[in-house]
Amino acid sequence: MNQDIFVGGNGDAPRTRLQEVFSFPHPVNESAARLVAGMVVVLAASIIVFEAYWLLPLLVYGFLARVLTGPTLSPMGLLATKVMAPGLKLPVKLVSGPPKRFAQTVGLVFSVTALIVHFALGLSGLASIILGVLVAFAVLESVFGICAGCITFGMLMRMGVIPDEVCERCVF
């Protein structure tokens, strides 16, 4: 078998290594997702409390990496999936991948907005408010298991904004 080709587990067409890297997992381990959200809380809250805006690019990178590749290129994602969840022996609770990817995209939008507001506009207070909202949503996910992005995704599905083929992938 050619080492550059992978075959999806459910009859998918052959995939290249690049396609494999730039894919989002489906389903997703909810326990690992909640650990990542907890790390986002710590990083974003640290940026606010210590006015460590130089860490904003790291926050942006993490969200971008998770949107594009799931945990594959995300330090937080790798730490949660490969070290913390197994090490803590957390239960594997599988949930749909597309809503989690949507939630990561929302986090990316918030973190990029905070980055632009701080570095391009010099409005640190507004950047902190934006990060505060991100922290609140990440706390909901990490502590209470409430994924606001996933809830929004579900509403968009019911409204017909999310295409049917994405909705079909939500079932596993």
pLDDT tens column, 108-120: 999 999 999 999 9
* Model pLDDT, residue 13: 60
Does 53 or 17 have the greater pLDDT score? 53
- Is the four-CA dihedral 90, 95, 101, 105 of positive or negative sign? negative
What single DSSP character describes residue 55? Answer: G
* Model pLDDT, residue 148: 97
Q: What number of other Cβ atoms are within 10 A of residue 112's Cβ?
A: 17
- Residue where the block lists tokens 């957390």: 90
* Model pLDDT, residue 17: 77
Q: Is the pLDDT of residue 6 over 70?
A: no
Q: What percent of the chain has pLDDT over 70?
A: 90
* CA pair distance 89, 32, nearest whole angstrom: 11
Does 62 or 24 have the greater pLDDT score? 62
Q: Is the pLDDT of residue 16 over 90?
A: no
Decide: 98 and 169 in contact? Cβ < 8 Å: yes
Q: Is the pLDDT of residue 37 over 50?
A: yes
Tell me which of 40-44, 104-108, 159-163 is least confident. 159-163
**Global pTM?**
0.88
Mean pLDDT (whole number) for 32-58? 98
Q: What is the mean pLDDT of the chain?
A: 90
* Model pLDDT, residue 12: 52
